[in-house]
Amino acid sequence: MTDTILAWLDLEHRILKATRSVEVEFAAVNLASALVPYRQAALWDAGIRALSGAAGVDANSPYVLWLDKLLRHGAAENTVRIDASAVPVALAEQWADWLPAHAVILPAGSARLLFARDAPFSPAEEALLERLADLVRLGRAALMPRRWKVSLPQGRRKWLLLAAALLAAVFPVTGSVLAPAESVPAHPIIVRSPLDGVVDRVLIQPNQPVAEGEALFALDSTALAGRLDVARLQQATAEAEYRQVAQAMVFDPKAKAQVAILAGKAEEKAAEARLLERQLARIQVKAPKAGIAVFDDVSDWIGRPVVVGEKVMAVADETDTEIEAWVSVADVGEIRPGGRLTLFLNTAPLSPVRAVVRTLAYEANARPDNTVAHRLRATLEDGAEKPRLGLKGTARVDGDTVPLVWWVFRRPLATIRQFIGL
């Protein structure tokens, strides 16, 4: 009895210390002879996994093929004593070629253990082998990789859950997209360069309130003043020539022909001087109305050459704002003019601003962050508190009503089609 206990403890220790299921299977069929004497043993789990006295299993050998058929036939939830008389004739005819007279089959989870010898197994021996089969089941289960199993409910409950899933899939939801947005002037007045030249001074700071008629910036007057001086000298010369010929025509009939020409030349030089004077008077640009001066940085403009009509800054009413958002190319199809827009400001995320989509650009534009997006403009709803100019946040733009399954799988399906073309 003591030897049996020691043998059991040793076998149990080996199985519990195993790091692979194949070690558990090998110990079960080769080391259990210290507990219960037997001549042959095998472990089956959808095929022969281990044989006593063999380092490996040849799946195509006649013995393994016959033993696989036997253990498939001998399926049972409890221990089964089996011999040639308890199996089909096709198996019984070859029993004596492959196994001793008596065998016992024990369930071990999804596996089955077979032990065979010439003498029948006693109840006490079967109890020990059953204990071994339980140990093998636990050892293999602990070392097997975990598999997720989905169990479908049966009967009415199954159909109710299926119907609920279908209803949820077609449940209508409002499609929406997210886009970066900010508060921009609704009716800004663009201040442009009146002349070709170089910006000499910027007389205000970004976002500074300005009054109507207040000077904003000035162009460099050096070249224009020099041209005006030259034009005035040319005008004076032309007028002197005209006066000289006009006096000479009293005595010289030939001078009469030159009077008209010199008079026209003098008037041309006078007109050129007047034009340069008007241009010189315009080098200092003034605010067309009261508001906020909107531009980036003073240092970006000082010394910068500009052409006539080039935008330098804008003057806008700080409270007359609307929403500008940039919608990605992948999401632009979900948006329609007239759709609802909700802006969540970074400074006040719990106080959303409501607006209505006014325009959506047909063409996408490149942005400073190297993305390409469509510009969207939205008008604030009547009565809505207008956010301060320049505040940024995230806009949620509501689109058409779509089934829930489409809302969930639209992006994955689009990505799959882009990569594999299906």
To which H or E segment does residue 275 belong?
helix 256-281
Query: For residue range 88-97, what is the model confidence (pLDDT) as tens digits?
Result: 877 888 788 8
Least confident of 126-130, 229-233, 386-390: 126-130
What are the DSSP E strand ranges found in 206-339? 209-210, 215-219, 284-286, 291-294, 305-306, 311-316, 321-328
Whether the predicted pLDDT of 215 surpasses 80 = yes
Query: For residue range 315-360, what is the model confidence (pLDDT) as tens digits?
Result: 988 888 899 999 888 777 778 888 889 999 998 888 899 999 999 8
pLDDT-above-90 percentage for the chain: 12
* pTM for the structure as a whole: 0.49
Bridge partners of 108, per DSSP, are 111
Average pLDDT over residues 371-387: 87
Least confident of 2-11, 36-45, 158-167, 259-268: 2-11
Provide the pLDDT confidence category of residue 146 given band limits of 50, 70 and 90: low
Q: What whole-number distance in Å separates Cα of residue 106 and Cα of residue 85?
A: 18
Identify whether the C-beta of residue 104 lies closer than 8 Å to the C-beta of residue 39: no
Sheet of 209-210, strands arranged across:
189-192, 311-316, 291-294, 209-210
In this prediction, residue 388 carries a pLDDT of 84
In this prediction, residue 12 carries a pLDDT of 74
CA dihedral 392, 393, 394, 397 (to 10 degrees): -60
| Tokens (6 digits) for 121 | 């197994």
Q: What whole-number distance in Å separates Cα of residue 372 and Cα of residue 362?
A: 13
